[in-house]
C-alpha cells in the first residue's frame, strides 16, 4: 500500500505538544502446541457420533480455518472431559498470571525500563474472572510500585488489544509523564463447552487459542533513568529491533476511534450459564465488514488528514480467513497487505484480544515500516464494534 507521495500529516490531538509513543511490544504463548489436524480429530471423536452422518460436514470448518497450529494452556486431553466453570476459572487465573508476567517482563525490558518505572497498568481480558483482578495479582509478582494505577477492562473480546492501545494513549495524553503497561490476555480454550453441539461451538473450537501480549506506551514528557534513558533515547535506523526480551519500537500513537453500531448486540459475544461462557458468532460478520467498515475507516482517516492511500500497513485482528477477505474486498486492497495477520492466524490461531498485537510484532520484526510511515491497528469486537488506532513510525 506504499505510495510514492509523501505521507499525509495527521492532525495532532488538541493540547498535546507531541503524541504518546509506543516503545515496545512482546508476546507469550502457552507451552502446549496443537496441530489443527489433531484438533479436528479431537472434535470428530467428541462430537462425531452425536452429530450424525448428515452433520459430519460441519467438521470441515477445521479445514477452512486458515490455521495449522495453535497453543493451549492445557494439554489436549484436558478438554476431553467436562469441567465446571469454577475449575476452568481457576485454570484461567493460574495461566493468566504466568503468561501475563512473561509478556510484561519482556515488554518492560525491551522498553529499557524497570517494573518500578511503570505508572499505570491496563489489563484487558474477556475469558475469565478474578477479584482481586489479574493486574492486582501481577503487581505483586512484577514488584510494581505500591502507588501503581490499575485499570482492568473486561468484555471487549477480539477488539480488546486495539481498544487497549487507544485507552493507553488516552492515559498518556492525560498525563504526559506516564509510562503505561498494556496487557491483553485471553485463554479462549478454557471456555470450550464439552457437551455443546451448537455450530458456533464447533466454529470456536476450530479457531480459538490462548496467548498474551504486552506493550509499553509512554507520554511525550515521560522521564527515564539509568539504563532506561539510554534505551529510550538511542534508536537504531530501523523502526524496531528484536531482542531477547521483546521487540523495541518507536511509534507515535496519533489518533484512535471506537465505533459501536446500534442494534448489533447479537453479532458477537458470550452467553453465560452455570457451565460458563458460550460463544456467540454471527455468520453475517464478513457481510458487515463489507458493508460498514470502509466508510467508517475513511471518515476516521479523513478526520486525521490521511486516507487509505496514506497507510503503509493495516495491522488487523485476523478473526478468520473470511473476515480478512472481507477487509481486503471492502477496502479494495491487495490481500498481501494482510500477510502478517494470516501468518499469525496460521501459526497461533485466533487468540481474541492479544492477536492484533501479535500481528504488530510480526510487522515490526519484518521491518515493514520505515520512519514517518503510517499504519493502522484495527480490530472488530462485541457490540458490534470496531477499534482503530493510527500510528506513525519514528526514526
Cα–Cα distance measured from residue 168 to residue 178, given in angstroms and rounded to the nearest whole number: 10
- Contact predicate 235/352, CB 8 Å: no
355 phi/psi in degrees, rounded to 5 = -60, -40
Pairing mode of beta strands 149-154, 120-125: parallel
360 phi/psi in degrees, rounded to 5 = -60, -45
Cβ atoms < 10 Å from Cβ of 11: 12
Cα–Cα distance measured from residue 294 to residue 300, given in angstroms and rounded to the nearest whole number: 10
Q: Tell me the CA distances in angstroms from 245 to 72, 128, 135, 260, one per residue in order.
A: 22, 27, 20, 36
Catalytic residue among 73, 158, 249, 348: 158
For 192-212, the DSSP string reads --TT---HHHHHHHHHB-EEE
188 among known catalytic residues = no
Q: What amino acid positions are annotated as catalytic residues?
A: 158
Amino acid at each position: 500500500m506504499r505510495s510514492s507521495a509523501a505521507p499525509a500529516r495527521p492532525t495532532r490531538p488538541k493540547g498535546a505538544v507531541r503524541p504518546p509513543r509506543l516503545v515496545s511490544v512482546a508476546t507469550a504463548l502457552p507451552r502446549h502446541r496443537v496441530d489443527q489436524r489433531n484438533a479436528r480429530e479431537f472434535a470428530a471423536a467428541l462430537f462425531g457420533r452425536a452429530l450424525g452422518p448428515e452433520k459430519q460436514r460441519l467438521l470441515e470448518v477445521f479445514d477452512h480455518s486458515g490455521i495449522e497450529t495453535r497453543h493451549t494452556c492445557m494439554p489436549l486431553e484436558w478438554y476431553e472431559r467436562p469441567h465446571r466453570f469454577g475449575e476452568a476459572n481457576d485454570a484461567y487465573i493460574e495461566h493468566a498470571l504466568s503468561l501475563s508476567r512473561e509478556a510484561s517482563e519482556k515488554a518492560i525490558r525491551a522498553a529499557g525500563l524497570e517494573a518500578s518505572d511503570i505508572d499505570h497498568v491496563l489489563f484487558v481480558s474477556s475469558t475469565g474472572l478474578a477479584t482481586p483482578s489479574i493486574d492486582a495479582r501481577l503487581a505483586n509478582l512484577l514488584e510494581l510500585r505500591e502507588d501503581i494505577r490499575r485499570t482492568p477492562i473486561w468484555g471487549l473480546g477480539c477488539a480488546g488489544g486495539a481498544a487497549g492501545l487507544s485507552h493507553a494513549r488516552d492515559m498518556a495524553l492525560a498525563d504526559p509523564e506516564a509510562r503505561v503497561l498494556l496487557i491483553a490476555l485471553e485463554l479462549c480454550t478454557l471456555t470450550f463447552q464439552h457437551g455443546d453441539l451448537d455450530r458456533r461451538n464447533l466454529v470456536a473450537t476450530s479457531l480459538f487459542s490462548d496467548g498474551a501480549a504486552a506493550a509499553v506506551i509512554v507520554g511525550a514528557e515521560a522521564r527515564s533513568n539509568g539504563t532506561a534513558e539510554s534505551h529510550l533515547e538511542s534508536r537504531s535506523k530501523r523502526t524496531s529491533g528484536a531482542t531477547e526480551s521483546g521487540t523495541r519500537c518507536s511509534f507515535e500513537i496519533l489518533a484512535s476511534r471506537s465505533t459501536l453500531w446500534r442494534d448489533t448486540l447479537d453479532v458477537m459475544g458470550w452467553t453465560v450459564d452455570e457451565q460458563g461462557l458460550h460463544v456467540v458468532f454471527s455468520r453475517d460478520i464478513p457481510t458487515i465488514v463489507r458493508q460498514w467498515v470502509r466508510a467508517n475507516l475513511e471518515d476516521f482517516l479523513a478526520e486525521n488528514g490521511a486516507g487509505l492511500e496514506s497507510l503503509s500497513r493495516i495491522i488487523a485482528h485476523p478473526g478468520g480467513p473470511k473476515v480478512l477477505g472481507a477487509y481486503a474486498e471492502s477496502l479494495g486492497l491487495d490481500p498481501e497487505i494482510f500477510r502478517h495477520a494470516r501468518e499469525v492466524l496460521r501459526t497461533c490461531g485466533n487468540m481474541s484480544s492479544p492477536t492484533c498485537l501479535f500481528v504488530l510484532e510480526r510487522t515490526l520484526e519484518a521491518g515493514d515500516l520505515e520512519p514517518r510511515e503510517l499504519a493502522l491497528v484495527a480490530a472488530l469486537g462485541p457490540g458490534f464494534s470496531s477499534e482503530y488506532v493510527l500510528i506513525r513510525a519514528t526514526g
